[in-house]
Chain A
């Protein structure tokens, strides 16, 4: 038996892929998280109201999603309805997170794969690209920064946001600041569209070269955005079954009836399935479950994607294209929302804490994120974090098997396998810091 270990880079956190080969045949492919963060242990015994400052530190890449999910779980527990203005500002915050994350995944993590470069900073530029005012790297970081700036504007802090608090948000968004942000988005949106088109083109060229979009067997899909309103500050989960129709919806409170979450012995991250079926979350799941975005450019991309690849589409490298569509949507939508009045009105309600069980759901960049807290005598007795990356674990393993089988034969192991492993894992954009207990 041969075992090959592939260290991974250009993903969040410490993980690796291990492939076992018996008699020239792929026997097993594992995706392993290599550290155990321990947050669900650490927060036991902490005063409930303080947990919202702690949980963003689970992950610096999706801190915003954790913070909002945490606040929503305590609001559910305390029986609080935040004012509408606060919900709008939280949506802007989550859009900022989506922009930052999708830009990172598209340009920093996966674009280098399109041209076999080791990093964005190293990508060889074509003469046309060089004639442009900015390099690809500079443009990518500029677009990514819009996300960061939105997070600062709507979240008060650029990485671990603080403005979302139990009962609402601590302050609203003044007109001048909204206008300045709108101006930046208007200025840079054409650049973002350009980058996404470029990325799309590079992806089809790569696929021409390697001959596959990857594992394309149908699976279940899980998202908490709605078919006709792509709200990230979401309320319920939706499931698409293998045959491609929406077959279940459920509230976060019911997750245990639908999702089977298990520990694994080969990784510090567990797995989850839809009652035993492999499922997928993240961009492709959302796009498969979306009819319309309600913003012109994103809807045009959605149509183009459906016409080219079908709906639902299943191959894993489509995750990457879908991130591009979502990036454009989030920019358009953030601008739309900033044009409305986010300055006046009640931003926060008073509250009184109490004991009980609460659930908080948001659509994080990687899929639906649920926080579940049990509070006794004002302290956290138990905290469960239901992590989007975990929903993808079985799908990642299957896609790795498909790739490994393609590149392992009696003639040997193709050099392409190591690149394929990177492409497969990055398509799912896993977040390892989040994925362990």
Chain B
């Protein structure tokens, strides 16, 4: 019988994030018999990253100088590096980008003697190290973790969230404002856009099983852009969404534009598109995305 030490060495490096990705991974036990977990501070008390790691998952963005140090160390000691979660792919939602009204006061108050210092912003990890596979999601579902770990080559991921949603898009139900969330329980069969929700399912990468939209909540796009929009200018993605909403609704264009510019959407959409603005980042190809 295989003992754990015969199995490939598996490690999880957590940079600055919320631990949600780790919690998601722990919701599945399917990986336990396939890997020898050698490092994951959330569950194992080893403080030293071992050498010759077969697979290293990195979650969280690069927020502190210590994160950066650990990331370089992890990358140099592992054969395959998988970036997991929105934070690792984008820096994270609390990156407080340039232009944010409280950026200065945040940076001013983020120094302590002998503690790690905060970098000017939180960065995606591929700004600093080579990434073999990207697993977006906030957090990715346990099923997606298993796919990334066990069958990344043959993964079949739904192209967009609508594909897994099952709600019907109607041509004769055209809302005139984005008031869905304020108007009571949504109809379970009908597309949320028809019901006045700002759902991003039409341009968001699938694979999550339409976790949010099926019970009646608009998709906020946590899986990031679908393949056609990878590495594209933010305007390109927004244009596509604008087209969907003008085709399916009678919401005034000003309201659509205001909604698309809102920070709620920038929560994910902004994060992923923000990425394309930085010329020092590598291109992400669809072959590397789960």
Q: CB within 8 Å of B: which residues of A?
A: 7-14, 32, 34-39, 41-42, 44-47, 49-50, 53-54, 57-61, 63, 104, 108-109, 112, 118-122, 137-138, 141, 144-145, 148, 156-160, 162-163, 165-167, 170-171, 265-268, 347-352, 422, 433, 437
Within 8 A of A (CB), among B107-140: 109-110, 112-113, 115-116, 118, 138-139
Task: Name the distance in Å between A176's Cβ and chain B's nearest Cβ.
Answer: 15
Cβ-closest chain A residue relative to B67: A35
Interface residue tally for chain B (C-beta within 8 Å): 63
Q: Among A138, A170, A347, A351, point to the contact of B182 (Cβ < 8 A).
A: A351
Contacting residues, chain B, for A138 (C-beta < 8 A): 29
Given the known A-B contacts A38-B110, A350-B183, A351-B182, are A46 and B19 also in contact in the complex, defined by CB atoms under 8 Å? no
Contacting residues, chain B, for A350 (C-beta < 8 A): 182-184
A147, B14: Cα distance in complex, Å: 23
A12, B185: Cα distance in complex, Å: 35
Query: Are B118 and A348 in contact, with the CB atoms below 8 A?
Result: no
Task: Name the distance in Å between A280's Cβ and chain B's nearest Cβ.
Answer: 23
B94 interface residue (CB < 8 Å to A) = yes
Binary CB contact string for chain B from 30 to 49 against chain A (1 if under 8 A, 0 otherwise): 00100001000111111100
A338, B215: Cα distance in complex, Å: 18
Task: Name the distance in Å between A93's Cβ and chain B's nearest Cβ.
Answer: 12
Which of A14, A38, A59, A141: most chain B CB closer than 10 A? A38
- Given contact pairs A38-B96, A60-B23, A108-B26, enumerate 6 new A-B contacts (beta carbons under 8 Å): A10-B43, A32-B115, A35-B67, A53-B267, A60-B21, A118-B44
Task: Name the distance in Å between B255's Cβ and chain A's nearest Cβ.
Answer: 13
A interface: dominant SS: loop
A50, B259: Cα distance in complex, Å: 11
Given the known A-B contacts A35-B64, A170-B185, A268-B115, are A10 and B105 also in contact in the complex, defined by CB atoms under 8 Å? no
Contacting residues, chain A, for B96 (C-beta < 8 A): 38, 41-42
Query: Are A39 and B26 in contact, with the CB atoms below 8 A?
Result: no
Query: Are A167 and B105 in contact, with the CB atoms below 8 A?
Result: no
Q: Among B93, B112, B184, point to the contact of A268 (Cβ < 8 A).
A: B112
Q: Among B18, B44, B212, point to the contact of A119 (Cβ < 8 A).
A: B44
Task: Name the distance in Å between B81's Cβ and chain A's nearest Cβ.
Answer: 20
B interface: dominant SS: loop
Task: Name the distance in Å between A202's Cβ and chain B's nearest Cβ.
Answer: 17
Which of A10, A12, A14, A160: most chain B CB closer than 10 A? A14
Query: Are A119 and B45 in contact, with the CB atoms below 8 A?
Result: yes
A sample of 7 cross-chain residue pairs with beta-carbon separation below 8 angstroms, ordered by A number, consists of A41-B94, A47-B263, A50-B264, A137-B29, A159-B20, A162-B212, A170-B217
A3, B139: Cα distance in complex, Å: 38
Query: Are B215 and A170 in contact, with the CB atoms below 8 A?
Result: yes
Contacting residues, chain B, for A352 (C-beta < 8 A): 182
Query: Are B43 and A35 in contact, with the CB atoms below 8 A?
Result: no
Cβ-closest chain A residue relative to B188: A171
Query: Are B18 and A433 in contact, with the CB atoms below 8 A?
Result: yes
Query: Are B19 and A433 in contact, with the CB atoms below 8 A?
Result: yes
A6, B24: Cα distance in complex, Å: 27
Query: Are A34 and B116 in contact, with the CB atoms below 8 A?
Result: yes
A350, B190: Cα distance in complex, Å: 20
Contacting residues, chain A, for B45 (C-beta < 8 A): 9-10, 112, 118-119, 422
Given the known A-B contacts A9-B46, A60-B19, A159-B24, are A35 and B217 also in contact in the complex, defined by CB atoms under 8 Å? no
Given the known A-B contacts A35-B63, A60-B19, are A121 and B138 also in contact in the complex, defined by CB atoms under 8 Å? no
Q: Among A60, A63, A171, A351, point to the contact of B215 (Cβ < 8 A).
A: A171
A83, B251: Cα distance in complex, Å: 30
Query: Are B267 and A170 in contact, with the CB atoms below 8 A?
Result: no
Task: Name the distance in Å between A199's Cβ and chain B's nearest Cβ.
Answer: 17
Within 8 A of A (CB), among B51-105: 63-64, 66-67, 93-94, 96, 100-103, 105
A59, B139: Cα distance in complex, Å: 11
Contacting residues, chain B, for A157 (C-beta < 8 A): 211-212, 217
Query: Are B93 and A160 in contact, with the CB atoms below 8 A?
Result: no
Task: Name the distance in Å between B165's Cβ and chain A's nearest Cβ.
Answer: 14
Query: Are A158 and B46 in contact, with the CB atoms below 8 A?
Result: no
Given the known A-B contacts A37-B94, A53-B267, are A347 and B185 also in contact in the complex, defined by CB atoms under 8 Å? yes
Q: Among A46, A148, A163, A268, point to the contact of B264 (Cβ < 8 A).
A: A46
